Each structure stands twice: as C-alpha cells, then as structure tokens.
Amino acid sequence: MKTTSLLLAAWLCSAAAFSQAGLSGKVSDAESGEPILFASVALYKNGVLATGTETDFEGNYSFSNLSPGVYAVEVAYVGYAKRRVDDVEILDGKAIRLDIELSSEGVTLDEVVVVDYKVPLVEQDNTTSGATITSDRIRNLPTRDIRSLSGTTAGLSGRKRNKGRGGKETSVRGSRSGATDYYIDGVRVRGGHTPGSTPATRGVSAPGPAIPPGQLTAGEWSDLDNWETWTELLEEDFLPYTQHWQLAPRNRYAVEVRNEKGAPVVHCKAVLRSGEGHVLWSALTDNNGRAELWSSEAAAPESIELEFEGTQARIGRPQPYAEGVNLGRLTAECPAANAVDVLFVVDATGSMSDEINYLKAELEDAILRVERNLPGAMLRTGALFYRDHQDAYLTRSSRLTPTLDSTLAFIRQQSADGGGDGPEAVEIALQEALEKQNWNPKASARLLFLILDAPPHQTPEIIESLKQSIQKAAELGVKIIPVAGSGIDKSTEYLMKAMAISTGGSYAFLTNHSGIGGSHIEPTAGPYEVLFLNSLMVRLILENAVVTPCPNQDNPELAPLANLNPALLSQVKCFPNPATSQFYLHLDQDFGQLVIRNIEGKLIETKEKLDKGDHEFSAGNWAPGLYLLEMHKGKEVAVEKLVVERER
C-alpha cells in the first residue's frame, strides 16, 4: 500500500510538472485537408514577436512554457493567404489546441514571361552535388558558439598589400594554389574544407521542393570598404578583365548628405559634373545619406550637385575618395518610415539545377524573416528568373509588390533547365529588372540580388548593354548585390564585383562549407565570415533598409549621432550578424565607449573603454529586432547595425 501511494504521489507530481502553459495544433489545406509542411508559425504578444516555429512533417506545431496572456498566431506559407488568429488566451498551467486552415483562394501570381526579343537589345544613347551536409551538421561544427566560420581566403596572388613599408603583412590574398586556411576556434585548418564537410559533386540535382532553409553557406566582401586593395587589383591581377569587360570603377568620388540635425538625407539625387558641364555619373543617396560617384575622365570633375525635394546644394571641386568623403548639407526633414524594395534576379538555366531548390528555400525564408524584422515598413519584393536565347523563355518575372505571398508562390514554381553553352542572358535580365520594374524612388533601400553561376555573352553590344544597366541602377539608387554560385571563373567574379562597386553594393558568394552543389572558387577577398545564405541576405537587407533615428527634442540622447564618421566603421566588426544570443565585437583600435540602443533610440546597454581586440556580449534577453551599436571615439561616432532574432 505504501509503495502504491508513493508511486501515485510521484505520478501526480510529474503530471503537475508537465502541466505548463502551451499551445499546439495542426496547419492544413482548407480545401483538401492535407497537412502543410514547414509552414511558418509566429506568436505575437502585445504586438511584438514572442517566438516562432515551423510545422513538422505532419503539419503539427507546438509552443511550450508560455507565459500567461493574450497572443496572436500568424501562419504563412507560399501559395497560401496568410492567416492570423487574434485574442488567443493562454492561461497558467493550461495547454490549449488551435488547428488552423490556410486557403490558396485569391492568391495570384503577377507573372510576365518574355520568350524572345524582336528588336535590338541596345539603343545608342547620344544624350549624355551531389553530397549534402544538413543544417544540423553545420550547427554541430566547432564554431556553433558564434554561428560563424572565419576564413583567410585565397586569391590570385600572395603579395602584400603595402609592399616595402616595413614588411608588415596585410595581404587579403593567399597563394596561387587556391588552398584556403580556415581559423576555427583558433585552430588553423588547411585545405579549404571545414571539419565535417563533404566535397560536392557537380551536376546532381537537389531533391524536391520541401527543403528546409539554412543549408547553403555564403560569405560577403565589400571592395568599397577595402579600396586600397581594389585599386591594386585593377592595376595587376584584374587588369586583363578591365580590358575585357571595358569596365573599371577607379576614379571614385564619395558624397555624404546630412540635414541640419545631422541625420542622413535619404534618396537625395547626387550628380557628378565635368568642367564642361557634362554629367559624369548620377546616383541616389542610400539609408546612410551616402552615394558613390564615378568619373571616366582623367581630369578632375568640376562639381557635385545635390537635389532633394526642391532643395539644392553644390560642392565645388570635389575631392577624390583617397582624400576623403565629400560632405553636403541640405535643409530637409528627418527620414519618415522605411520603405524597402528587394528584387531577386536568378539564373534558372540547367547549370543551376544543383543549387536552385536550396536557393528557393533560402529566398523564401529570408523574405519572411525580413518582414518580421521590419514592422511598420512598406516592404515590396519581386523576382525575375532568366535563361538564354533559344530556351523555353528568356525571362519570367513577378513585379515588385507588397503582397509577399505572391512573390513567394512565384519563386516556389520556378525550376532550372536550358542553357548549355556557358554564358546566359544576364544583360537582358538586368535590363528588364531595372527598366520594367516600378522601383520606389523614395525607398530607404532598393536592392537587386543577382544570383548566378555563369557570365553574360561577351559581344560588344552586350557589354555596352551591361554598362548602360549599371549606370541605370546607380541613377535609380538600386544597389546590385551579386551572389556567385558554383562554376564561375575569375573573369565573372571581376564583372560581378565591378557591378557591386559601381552601384554601392557588395559582393556575396556561395561557399563549399555546405557541401551542396559544385565546387565554388575562393573569392578574391580578405578574411570573411561564413553564414547561412538566408541569414546573410537578412543582414544585408536590414542594414541597407534601416535609417538611423534623427536627433531631436524627443531623442536628445541621439545628438552624438550627428558626429558620425563612416571611416571609423572599418575598425569595427560585429559577428555573427544576425545574432540569437551571444555576439562579438572585433575592434581594430581602442574606443572610449559603446552605447547600444534599439531602433527607436531606447538605451539598452553601455560599456566604457573598449580596448582593441575581441569583446563578447549577450543579446539573449533582448527583443527580436534591429539594434544600433554606437562606438564612440572622442567626439566621433561609428554606428554598426545588429539584427537580433530568436532561435526557431
């Protein structure tokens, strides 16, 4: 009897322990009743994202250990209308069930298919893997604690950046052999493979569409932030490619425009003019009030003309970038709520068959995560898939739209086929992306991700078309961010880098760490952080989209932001970014103070006297969103933008 009572008491205690507040249910198709796999389920409390998950292989989802309160449940999946259930009350110690049905009724694809061109493409302008490594295996790599791998990458030569200046090694490149050294938890690993990764085999198609995101790995490198090295490459390793593509961004004139409060003036038109009054380059300022201008003439330009909503200013005799950034002041209101345009342009020829299904999963996930991290912003997305002449189609596109379900459904329907001769119709894809999309001229960010594994054809007419598209992108304020897949060569890499530099973008590339697809060449770059592709895209979109708050009477503590010094930012590296718990700051010099704020300007944390080196921080208790890391050095400030997400 005594034994029975003890067992009964133990059972009751166990039951009480597991009687915690929770929510679970099943997501299914409203018409067929079939379960929907990998649907995104987000849980909001008081309008703020509390947590999120995905449905499993039977369409089930569950949340446990929830604090009592009233929640909203939002479910999204490509091809279905988003469903939101408000006023879901969670009581202490109660587990409730909520089944949700999604309907595809009313979800349409705004699709345009171009089969071929009947007129000449360019009009002369006379006016001015086989083996797969899963995301779980990546997460179990030794660097999981910082969710990143730092690589000292190989390039085209092993010379030093500053030859003859004391012999100090500052090279961003390795040997001609292409071998790569990766530093994982301080251990140097030779040979270009991360422990646990599997060499891939070219030409093996990815499995079906139900592929979870967070598998493709990628890195990113900004040649604009490493300008001295880029100019050296133009004169040596990259010299043959400058002649081949007739494109060499070299004579750089950077301008930064701010209002009287020190806030950036976004989408201000900046025009670089020659002594004869000719327009040398035109661009729109980005979310930092910055624009990159270029001259093809040896003679110094005469002026930079600024225009914003009827207000004008002029900078005479602008200085080249080697001498500093040109500063402009305009009378303008602080930027309003963010508007963001993101267009994905994707090579859909047969050579992409080894990666395209994985790419689609990464794109879908990145779009949904960006939407969650930009509350209140007008986010528009679109996609354009392209092939080559004589294929089933040249381009297939869906317009920029605030209806994210339309973009997601369109992406999910695409597949890889055709091609076969190496080069593809890249120039047509760019022309249509820039001229036939309704880009928002007042957006804080206009981003074009160009994802490919093959160059354009190389006729004089096509090269001229590419140059015109690059100039058009700059005029529209569209930053081109290439994402290089497996199989590209150094000539194609150069072209992609030149496109990014000319439009204020950066160069992204898939890496071999995932083991998916064919072999990827080592980029001509310095040490770079390896992230999952979806996380890299989220970071790039958010850091280009969010505008620094304006110092005013409501935010007097933001007054130091009027003393921003963009050059200081090159001395700060934040990783991983996005972060979920711990993140690290690597500083190349001492800073007097670190101030961390959320995007509304609320103070989160401060730290005094940060020495040169690495510093660890915890964001585990921060709400998901975007944060400003203010690095103070005297009266000057550098601001890094950190994305914080919750583990799904």
How confident is the model over 580-625, as pLDDT tens digits?
888 999 898 999 999 998 876 788 999 999 999 999 999 988 887 7
- Which residues is 263 bridged to in the sheet? none
Worst-scoring range by mean pLDDT, 19-23, 248-252, 631-635? 19-23
Instruction: Identify the band that residue 240 occupies on the pLDDT scale cut at 50, 70 and 90.
Output: very high
Least confident span in 357-361, 367-371, 375-379, 468-472: 375-379
Tokens representing residue 392 in the block: 């089933």
For residues 551, 555, 560, 563, the Cα torsion angle rounded to the nearest 10 degrees is: -10
The residue with tokens 């297939």 is 396
CATH 3.40.50.300 for the 557-644 domain, yes or no: no
Is 116 strand, coil or helix?
coil
- Residues 615-645 have pLDDT tens digits of 999 998 888 777 888 888 888 888 888 888 8
Ranges of CATH 2.60.40.10 domains, the chain = 16-102
Residue from 340, 338, 328, 339 nearest 262 by CA: 328
Backbone angles phi, psi at 407, to 5 degrees: -65, -45
Average pLDDT value over all residues in the chain: 79
Query: What topology is assigned to 217-231+336-545 in CATH?
Result: Rossmann fold (3.40.50)
Which position has the higher pLDDT, 45 or 387?
A: 387
pLDDT at 300 exceeding the cut of 90: yes
**DSSP structure string for 359-399:** HHHHHHHHHHHHHHHSTTSEEEEEEEEE--TTSS-SEEEEE
Specify the higher pLDDT residue, 556 or 642.
642
Q: pLDDT at position 411, please? A: 93
For the chain, what percent of residues have pLDDT higher than 90? 46
Nearest of 264, 398, 258, 373 to residue 315 by alpha carbon: 258
Note the pTM of the prediction, 2 decimals.
Answer: 0.71
pLDDT band per the 50, 70, 90 thresholds, residue 8: very low
Q: CA separation (Å) from 431 to 117, 363, 426, 477?
A: 12, 22, 9, 15
User: Which tokens belong to 346?
Assistant: 């994707």
Instruction: State mean pLDDT over 42-63.
Output: 82
- 16-102 CATH: 2.60.40.10
Which among 255, 256, 252, 254 is positioned nearest to 296, based on CA atoms? Answer: 252
Region of 5 on the Ramachandran plot (φ > 0 left; ψ -120 to 50 alpha; else beta):
alpha
- How much is the pLDDT for 170? 29
| Tokens (6 digits) for 633 | 């050095």
- If one compares 37 and 312, the residue with the highest pLDDT of the two is 312
- Range(s) of the chain covered by CATH 3.40.50.410: 217-231+336-545
Q: What is the mean pLDDT of residues 185-210?
A: 34
Largest alpha-carbon pair distance within the chain? 105
Alpha-carbon 345 to chain mean position: 14
As a residue count, the chain comes to 648
Distance, in Å, from the CA atom of 232 to the CA atom of 321, rounded to the nearest integer, reads 15
- Which has the higher per-residue pLDDT, 311 or 623? 311
3-7, 388-392, 499-503, 539-543: segment of lowest average pLDDT: 3-7
pLDDT interval class at 269 (50, 70, 90): very high
pLDDT digits (tens, 9 = 90+) for 69-124: 999 998 887 677 889 999 999 988 888 999 999 987 765 556 677 776 544 443 33
Residues carrying CATH 2.60.40.3080, the chain: 557-644
Q: Are 154 and 135 in contact (CB under 8 A)?
A: no
Q: What is the predicted pLDDT for the residue at 186?
A: 30
By C-alpha distance, which of 103, 28, 54, 51 is closest to 364? 54
